[in-house]
């Protein structure tokens, strides 16, 4: 069966690089192990966003898909540096803002890829868009 609409394209939204503190264990929830990773500082760069990340926020790790050999995933969960080519780490990102200039992002489907190393995390975020 042929699709009835053209496929969406991915448009780069931003690259986020953050220095982070060690994860805080929240416990098990209905979707698995819950953790909170406090953010210390960072940068966000892209066509639509440019700025500095200030302390006080966190990644609450509610959704995301990581896949790789068990020893690689264990090292990731422990915050050890792992070669990004040895695993994949996909994200579904939900953004929230009260600022009118950025409100359009709250209604977008945003996906991304992440890399994790000891003390830092980087996300490349993209939104789905139909250009036809």
Domain of 125, CATH number, reads 2.40.160.20
Specify if 36 maps to a domain: yes
Specify if 4 maps to a domain: no
Contact 8, 129 (CB under 8 A): yes
CA-to-CA separations, 43 to 10, 55, 113, in angstroms, rounded: 22, 11, 16
Segment 23-45, tens digit of pLDDT = 888 888 887 778 888 999 999 99
β-pair partners for 94: none
Specify if 2 maps to a domain: no
Residue 109 three-state SS: coil
pLDDT of residue 59: 83
Q: What is the dihedral of CA 28, 31, 36, 39, to 10 degrees?
A: 170
Q: Which domain holds residue 123?
A: 9-129
> What global pTM score does this model have?
0.78
Identify the residue with better confidence: 83 or 50: 50
Number of domains in the chain: 1
Specify if 3 maps to a domain: no
């Amino acid at each position: 069966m042929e699709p009835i609409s053209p496929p969406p394209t991915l448009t780069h939204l931003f690259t986020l690089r953050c220095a982070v503190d060690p994860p805080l264990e929240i416990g098990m929830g209905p979707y698995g192990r819950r953790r909170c990773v406090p953010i210390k500082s960072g940068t966000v760069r892209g066509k639509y966003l440019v700025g500095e990340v200030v302390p006080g926020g966190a990644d609450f790790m509610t959704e995301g898909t990581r896949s790789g050999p068990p020893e690689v995933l264990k090292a990731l969960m422990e915050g050890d540096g792992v070669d990004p080519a040895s695993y994949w780490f996909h994200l579904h990102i939900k953004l929230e803002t009260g600022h009118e200039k950025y409100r359009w992002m709250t209604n977008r489907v945003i996906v991304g890829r992440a890399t994790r190393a000891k003390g830092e995390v980087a996300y490349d975020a993209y939104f789905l868009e139909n250009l036809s």
